[in-house]
């Protein structure tokens, strides 16, 4: 006898990061590089004319990975980029149409390699610079571990718009397991996408120091100075040049080429060492 099971809809959403030059009020200053995120302005309900992450409904015979790649190609003209699955979101009220469960993916790309193009049901597409500020923070110990509460402001800024978001993140360490709850206080984004962005930012920052994830934001050949800039942006702190170069020495290979049109003494170009393996202790 066939049972009647509830069948929710399934979607995928992409949080695609890049590092690009941000706008400067003083034209005499060199552009400052910032972490940016890809957003699309929806051309249909719900949330028509609201900015959101690019996403799509998963088709009946489609794998999640196929759906997320199809979505990026159809909606943003992006293909063949680094993607990793992050988290599954299932709040019953997250979509006003019906019960929708979404799996989020984090993507990293060197934006110089792509040409954005808004696809079907998309009014606009753009990169937004990410500004995060922790406005309130508390932590208390308990017999199982601790609870840490942060209230954050996430400002997303393009050349023409500023989107403001406020979220509360509760992290509980319970017997060695980290449990994370995120609550939206206010958001200019569609759906619950402010939650997805906060989660992806946290994952990105935590992975930088023990993986090669930062190299997915770099061109094939780069200077060590520009590589250090990327690490500093992702970690949100300055790094000592000597220490940084010692840590990444095995991760890069020096080429015979030098940076062109640099306007100063040319720097040697490097590339990622594809044979690099993390140190085992």
- Claim to verify: residue 100 and residue 224 sit in the same structural domain: no
- Claim to verify: residue 32 and residue 123 sit in the same structural domain: yes
CA angle, corner 48, sides to 64 and 60, nearest 5? 25
Identify the pLDDT of residue 30.
59
Identify the pLDDT of residue 281.
43
- DSSP of 193-210: HHHHHHHHHHHHHHHHTT
CA angle, corner 130, sides to 125 and 133, nearest 5? 150
Identify the pLDDT of residue 26.
55
Identify the pLDDT of residue 272.
97
User: Looking at the domain assignment, is residue 70 inside a domain?
Assistant: yes
Please give the structure tokens belonging to residue 25: 């009020």
The residue segments making up the domain with residue 226 are 213-272
- Claim to verify: residue 236 and residue 109 sit in the same structural domain: no
- Claim to verify: residue 253 and residue 231 sit in the same structural domain: yes
Identify the pLDDT of residue 163.
98
pLDDT in tens, the chain (281 residues): 567 888 899 999 999 999 998 765 555 555 788 999 999 999 999 999 999 999 999 999 999 999 999 999 999 999 999 999 999 999 999 999 999 999 999 999 998 888 999 998 999 999 999 999 999 999 999 888 899 999 999 999 999 999 999 999 999 988 888 888 999 999 999 999 999 999 999 999 999 988 999 999 999 999 999 999 999 999 999 999 999 999 999 999 999 999 876 556 788 999 999 999 876 54
Identify the pLDDT of residue 29.
58
- DSSP of the chain: --------EEEEEEEEEEEEEPP-SSTTSPPPEEEEEEEEEE-SSSSTT-EE--EEEPPTT--HHHHHHHHHHHHH---S-EEEEEEEE--TTSSSSS-EEEEEEEEE--GGG------TTEEEEEEEEEEEEEEEEEEEEETTEEEEEEEEEEEEE-SS-EEEEEEEEEEEEETTEEEEEEEEEEESBSTTHHHHHHHHHHHHHHHHTTSSGGGGGS-SSB-HHHHHHHHHHHHTS---HHHHHHHTGGGEEEEEEE-SS-SSSPPEEEEE-TT------
**Contact at 8 Å (CB) between 122 and 139?**
no
Q: Which residue has the tokens 């929806």?
A: 42
Identify the pLDDT of residue 97.
93
- Claim to verify: residue 66 and residue 200 sit in the same structural domain: yes
Q: Which residues contact 98 (CB under 8 A, 6 or more apart)?
A: 8, 9
Percentage of the residues of the chain whose pLDDT score is greater than 70: 93
Each residue's pLDDT tens digit, 178-196:
888 999 999 999 999 999 9
Identify the pLDDT of residue 266.
81
What total number of domains does the chain contain? 2
CA angle, corner 217, sides to 254 and 230, nearest 5? 75
Q: Which residue has the tokens 């992806």?
A: 200
- Claim to verify: residue 202 and residue 218 sit in the same structural domain: no
**Contact at 8 Å (CB) between 151 and 135?**
yes
Pairing of strands 100-108, 122-142: unpaired
- Claim to verify: residue 93 and residue 24 sit in the same structural domain: yes
User: Looking at the domain assignment, is residue 156 inside a domain?
Assistant: no
Identify the pLDDT of residue 83.
97
- Read off the CATH number of the domain in which 254 is found: 1.10.10.10
Identify the pLDDT of residue 2.
60
0.85 exceeded by the pTM?
Answer: yes
- Claim to verify: residue 63 and residue 118 sit in the same structural domain: yes
Identify the pLDDT of residue 23.
63
- Claim to verify: residue 14 and residue 114 sit in the same structural domain: yes
- Claim to verify: residue 196 and residue 217 sit in the same structural domain: no
Identify the pLDDT of residue 88.
96
Identify the pLDDT of residue 24.
57
- Claim to verify: residue 70 and residue 196 sit in the same structural domain: yes
- Read off the CATH number of the domain in which 49 is found: 3.90.79.10
Q: Which of 99, 72, 68 is nearest to 86 (CA)?
A: 68
Task: Give the separation between CA 157 and CA 71, rounded to whole angstroms.
Answer: 23
User: Looking at the domain assignment, is residue 186 inside a domain?
Assistant: no
Q: Which residue has the tokens 């906060």?
A: 198
């Amino acid at each position: 006898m066939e049972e009647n099971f509830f069948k929710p809809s399934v979607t995928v959403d992409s949080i695609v990061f890049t590092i690009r030059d941000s706008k400067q009020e003083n034209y005499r200053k060199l552009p400052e590089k910032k972490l940016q995120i890809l957003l699309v302005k929806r051309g249909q309900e719900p949330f028509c004319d609201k900015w959101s992450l690019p996403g799509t409904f998963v088709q009946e015979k489609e794998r999640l990975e196929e759906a997320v790649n199809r979505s990026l190609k159809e909606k943003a003209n992006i293909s063949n980029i680094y993607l990793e699955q992050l988290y599954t979101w299932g709040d019953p009220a997250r979509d006003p149409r019906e019960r929708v469960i979404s799996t989020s993916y984090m993507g990293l790309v060197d934006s110089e390699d792509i040409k954005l193009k808004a696809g079907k049901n998309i009014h606009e597409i753009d990169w937004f610079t990410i500004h995060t500020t922790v406005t309130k923070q508390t932590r208390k110990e308990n017999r199982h571990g601790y609870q840490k509460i942060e209230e954050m402001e996430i400002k997303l800024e393009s050349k023409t718009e500023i989107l403001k978001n406020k979220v509360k993140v509760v992290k509980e360490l319970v017997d060695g397991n980290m449990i994370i709850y995120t609550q939206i206080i206010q958001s200019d984004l569609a759906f619950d996408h402010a939650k997805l962005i906060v989660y992806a930012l946290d994952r990105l920052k935590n992975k930088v120091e023990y993986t090669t994830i930062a190299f997915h934001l770099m061109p094939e050949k780069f200077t060590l100075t520009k590589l250090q800039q990327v690490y500093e942006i992702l970690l949100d702190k300055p790094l000592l040049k000597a220490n940084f170069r010692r840590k990444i020495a095995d991760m890069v290979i020096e080429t015979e080429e030098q940076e062109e049109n640099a306007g100063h003494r040319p720097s040697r170009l490097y590339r990622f060492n594809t044979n690099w393996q993390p140190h085992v202790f």
